[in-house]
């Protein structure tokens, strides 16, 4: 078999297995086999760029090229739907349709998915474009990002699809993915997404499609447009779409009577609570396209369709107390303690109040009857106060001025909503959660120590900070309550093991605010040793790719504290790694120092990603678009004409692959 044949074979296989996994939910091969095929294809494509195909399954992993979105006019405007909130309004809609058509009709009932809408264009069975709703007339071209969504077919299967058509649907972030993402963001103290809808639309608009690929979005398609669709019925066309490989919801019914429509609504008002993704209503559509055309449109929405919105789930209960939690980096979060109340199948006793501004806006008083909603968030939140129900006005809730645990005066930085406890070395919850973070799997991986052990070690005065872990001995541990000899030995062993953890993870483990695992890796590679990192000023830090002012400021502030410098030196004496591995250092050079380099085209000797790494390793910076501060463009075959034109206009130098390799001494 020639490489070309193998490339085509792998693409076919991967498209098929992708469909089995993501649409049919019935995988035929293991993840391991799938990944191995994907890697083989990636390698072959890198080696034989002449067989490149924009719809290859490898495009699903995304690329980290920065691009700004190009705006594209919609061929057919993307309208919204009229909303109704009661069955009476649904009946009005039904009667209006009946009067206007004056013949038999069917209503297709569907779920209203709560994500972000997308319009996909297919030509000759290939996905050519994915555009957001935008202002309804024109939207952003987010094709590269949408290609990473596994349930969006890049190539259609079967036959009978029109040569060119559009299909619209909703991009969703499933609940479990959303919750995991927010947990990770909370860990890094990044702002949380309020609900899966915001998370989905935020993700679709990311500049880096390789990050989009990691976010595990899903998509349901619910509306097809174009000439030459197989049938007159909307429902029937969607069944065809399913046979071509699209993910179409099976929670769809054709109804003739109002009663049938009400049954559908009532059923899904309950059933939706156990679905893996968010829905916020039901969409009712006249099924026949001929009848749809007869009914037409108002300025904003079709007359042939309407949305029925479910009531947001809300409960009313009494506010008994507001308590405050102190997080790892000292952020103080107010928590409402409530009379227990049933909400979407769970008993709610506590709800987040987020920050002082929110408490102020709600004008909260102890004893108030408050509205609690789950509306998509992980933690229920208080959305309002029933002021009518106030009988005796309780004490006004005022955000505390001192740390509830250690008593330190709280601070609030200009422009930030959160209050902090500044006593990082003396405030127990901060100390304990820093230790928990330090030992966690992604950090030092001292996995035999969980939160309970941290609690015990702290309570018995065995550790006061992370460096004390390395002074523990087996006897200390063995003396703890409920600690057997075996567990004590496991803990001691995993602490010893952690001395092999590479520098970049140690840096992450230190728990510097805003320094997540990825940032830590960048910093480790850029500065090589902890000494150089500790001496770096904001400017030097910001010279590193993707390090902005917020992170740079936080790093400088961290190392400006004597207590943190001391901690580092104690960890260093204990044998914790505080410099990059020799092999990684050996690969580094300063050859491209201070240069901003754009990569364009297809290469022969290395992949684009490899070139990106090579640039960084040699001290250069890879940037996404050509500007007058670009040092040069590294070009392979098929450089984009727009980039070429811009480069010529700005007089930016063009460097070919071999010339570049010679430049860094790899020629």
Q: How far is the CB of 382 from ligand IVH (least distance, A)?
A: 28
| 335 touches ligand IVH (CB under 6 A) | no
Choose one: 74-82, 341-349, 407-415, 548-556; the region binding ligand IVH (CB under 6 A): 74-82
| 247 touches ligand IVH (CB under 6 A) | no
Nearer to ligand IVH, 223 or 399 (CB): 223
Nearer to ligand IVH, 303 or 521 (CB): 303
DSSP string computed for 468-515? GGGG--HHHHHTSTT--HHHHHHHHHHHHHGGGS-HHHHHHHTT-TT-
Residue 305, beta-bridge partner list: 285
Using CB under 6 A, which of 11, 112, 150, 197 touches ligand IVH?
A: 112
Angle at 171 between CA 166 and CA 172, to 5 degrees: 155
Q: How far is the CB of 252 from ligand IVH (least distance, A)?
A: 8
Nearer to ligand IVH, 152 or 571 (CB): 152
| 170 touches ligand IVH (CB under 6 A) | yes
Q: How far apart are CA 518 and CA 649, in angstroms?
A: 36
Using CB under 6 A, which of 222, 244, 508, 558 touches ligand IVH?
A: 222
Q: How far apart are CA 340 and CA 350, in angstroms?
A: 8
Q: How far is the CB of 538 from ligand IVH (least distance, A)?
A: 43
| 113 touches ligand IVH (CB under 6 A) | yes
Cβ partners under 8 Å of residue 547, min gap 6: 519, 522, 523, 541
Q: How far is the CB of 321 from ligand IVH (least distance, A)?
A: 40
Choose one: 31-39, 76-84, 121-129, 635-643; the region binding ligand IVH (CB under 6 A): 76-84
Find the binding residues for ligand IVH in span 81-100 (CB under 6 A).
81
SS3 percent helix, strand, coil of the chain, rounded to 5, is 40, 20, 40
Closest CA to 552 of 532, 516, 594, 544: 544
| 146 touches ligand IVH (CB under 6 A) | no
Closest CA to 467 of 435, 494, 504: 435
Choose one: 105-113, 184-192, 206-214, 387-395; the region binding ligand IVH (CB under 6 A): 105-113
DSSP string computed for 557-592? HHHHSHHHHHHHHHHHHHT---B--HHHHHT---TT
Specify the pairing of strand 346-352 against strand 126-132.
unpaired
Name the DSSP letter for residue 404: T
| 140 touches ligand IVH (CB under 6 A) | no
Nearer to ligand IVH, 295 or 405 (CB): 295
Using CB under 6 A, which of 127, 284, 307, 356 touches ligand IVH?
A: 307
Nearer to ligand IVH, 280 or 657 (CB): 280
Nearer to ligand IVH, 309 or 565 (CB): 309
| 305 touches ligand IVH (CB under 6 A) | yes
Per-residue contact string for residues 612-641; x = within reach of ligand IVH by CB under 6 A? ------------------------------
Q: How far apart are CA 382 and CA 374, in angstroms?
A: 9
DSSP string computed for 261-309? HHHHHHHHHHHGGGSSS-EEEEEEEESBHHHHHHH-B-SSSBTTEEEEE
Using CB under 6 A, which of 110, 189, 377, 436 touches ligand IVH?
A: 110
| 223 touches ligand IVH (CB under 6 A) | yes
Using CB under 6 A, which of 302, 428, 553, 624 touches ligand IVH?
A: 302
| 306 touches ligand IVH (CB under 6 A) | no
| 226 touches ligand IVH (CB under 6 A) | no
Contact between 104 and 90 under an 8 Å Cβ cutoff? The reply is no
Nearer to ligand IVH, 235 or 244 (CB): 235
Q: How far is the CB of 297 from ligand IVH (least distance, A)?
A: 8
The tokens describing 152, both together, are: 């969006």
Choose one: 95-103, 110-118, 259-267, 372-380; the region binding ligand IVH (CB under 6 A): 110-118
Helix axes 196-204, 175-187, angle to 10 degrees: 80
Q: How far apart are CA 157 and CA 246, in angstroms?
A: 9
Q: How far is the CB of 19 from ligand IVH (least distance, A)?
A: 22
Cβ partners under 8 Å of residue 372, min gap 6: 314, 315, 316, 317, 338, 341, 343, 348, 351, 380, 381, 382, 383
Using CB under 6 A, which of 117, 145, 182, 203 touches ligand IVH?
A: 117
Q: How far apart are CA 207 and CA 364, in angstroms?
A: 40
Q: Cα-flanking dihedrals φ and ψ of residue 101, to 5°?
A: -85, -40
- State which residue has the least CB distance to ligand IVH: 117
Contact between 291 and 382 under an 8 Å Cβ cutoff? The reply is no
SS (H, E, C) 432-473: HHHHHHHHCCCCCCCCCCCHHHHHHHHHCCCCCCHHHHHHCC
Q: How far is the CB of 599 from ligand IVH (least distance, A)?
A: 36
Name the DSSP letter for residue 139: E
Which residues are catalytic, by number?
112
| 265 touches ligand IVH (CB under 6 A) | no
Nearer to ligand IVH, 78 or 466 (CB): 78
Judged by CB under 6 A, how many residues of this single chain contact ligand IVH?
14
Q: How far is the CB of 204 from ligand IVH (least distance, A)?
A: 12
Nearer to ligand IVH, 80 or 563 (CB): 80
Q: Any idea which residue has 């009400």 for tokens? A: 262
Nearer to ligand IVH, 225 or 316 (CB): 225
Rule CB under 6 A: which residues touch ligand IVH?
79-81, 110, 112-113, 117, 170, 222-223, 283, 302, 305, 307
């Amino acid at each position: 078999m020639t490489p070309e044949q193998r490339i085509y074979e792998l693409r076919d296989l991967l498209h098929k297995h992708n469909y089995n996994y993501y649409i049919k939910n019935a995988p035929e091969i293991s993840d391991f086999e799938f990944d191995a095929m994907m890697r083989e294809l990636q390698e072959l494509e890198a080696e034989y760029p002449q067989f490149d195909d924009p719809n290859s399954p490898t495009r699903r992993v995304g690329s980290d090229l920065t691009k700004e979105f190009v705006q594209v006019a919609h061929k057919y405007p993307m309208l919204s739907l009229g909303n109704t909130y009661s069955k009476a309004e649904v009946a009005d809609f039904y009667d209006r349709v009946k009067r206007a058509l004056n013949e038999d009709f069917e209503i297709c009932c569907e779920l209203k998915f709560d994500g972000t809408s997308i319009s996909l264009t297919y030509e000759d069975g290939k996905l050519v474009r994915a555009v957001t709703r935008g202002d309804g007339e024109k939207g952003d071209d987010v094709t590269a990002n949408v290609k990473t969504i596994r349930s969006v077919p890049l190539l259609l299967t079967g036959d009978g699809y029109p040569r060119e058509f559009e299909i619209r649907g909703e991009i969703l972030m499933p609940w479990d993915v959303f919750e995991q993402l927010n947990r990770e963001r909370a860990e890094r103290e990044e702002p949380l997404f309020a609900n899966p809808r915001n998370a989905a639309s935020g993700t679709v608009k990311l500049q880096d499609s390789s990050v989009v690929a990691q976010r595990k979005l899903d998509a349901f398609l619910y509306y097809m447009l174009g000439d030459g669709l197989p049938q007159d019925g909307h429902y029937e066309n969607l069944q065809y779409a399913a046979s071509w490989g699209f993910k179409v919801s099976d929670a769809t019914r054709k109804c003739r009577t109002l009663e049938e429509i009400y049954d559908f609504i009532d059923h899904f008002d309950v059933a939706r609570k156990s679905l893996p993704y968010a829905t916020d209503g039901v969409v009712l559509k006249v099924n026949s396209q001929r009848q749809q055309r007869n009914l037409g449109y108002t300025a904003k929405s079709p007359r042939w369709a309407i949305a029925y919105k479910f009531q947001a789930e809300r409960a009313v209960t009494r506010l008994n107390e507001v308590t405050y939690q102190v997080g790892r980096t000292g952020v103080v979060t107010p928590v409402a303690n409530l009379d227990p109340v049933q909400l979407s199948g769970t008993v709610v006793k506590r709800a987040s109040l987020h920050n002082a501004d929110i408490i102020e806006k709600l004008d909260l008083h102890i004893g108030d009857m408050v509205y609690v909603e789950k509306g998509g968030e992980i933690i229920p939140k208080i959305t309002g106060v029933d002021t009518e129900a106030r009988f005796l006005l309780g004490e006004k809730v005022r955000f505390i001025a001192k740390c509830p645990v250690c008593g330190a005066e709280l601070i609030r930085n200009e422009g930030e909503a959160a209050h902090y406890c500044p006593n990082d070395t003396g405030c127990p919850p901060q100390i304990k959660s820093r230790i928990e973070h330090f030992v966690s799997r992604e950090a030092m991986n001292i996995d035999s120590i969980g939160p309970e052990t941290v609690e015990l070690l702290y309570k018995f005065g065995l550790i006061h900070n992370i460096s004390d872990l390395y002074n523990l001995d087996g006897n200390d541990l063995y003396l703890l309550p409920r600690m057997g000899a075996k567990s004590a030995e496991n803990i001691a062993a995993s602490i010893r093991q952690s001395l092999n953890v590479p520098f970049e993870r140690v840096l992450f483990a230190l728990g510097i605010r805003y320094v997540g695992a990825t940032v830590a890796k960048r910093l480790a590679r850029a500065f090589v040793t902890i000494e150089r990192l500790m001496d770096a000023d904001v400017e030097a830090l910001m010279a590193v790719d993707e390090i902005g002012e917020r992170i740079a400021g936080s790093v400088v502030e961290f190392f400006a504290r004597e207590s943190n410098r001391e901690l580092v030196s104690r960890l260093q004496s204990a044998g914790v790694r505080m410099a990059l591995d020799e092999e990684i250092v050996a690969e580094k050079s300063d050859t491209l120092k201070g240069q901003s380099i754009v990569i364009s085209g297809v290469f022969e000797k290395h992949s684009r990603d490899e070139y990106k790494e090579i640039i960084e390793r040699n001290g250069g910076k890879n940037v996404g678009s050509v500007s007058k501060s670009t040092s040069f463009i590294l070009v392979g075959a098929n450089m984009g004409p727009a980039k070429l034109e811009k480069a010529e206009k700005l007089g930016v130098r063009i460097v070919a692959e071999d010339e570049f390799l010679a430049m860094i001494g790899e020629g």
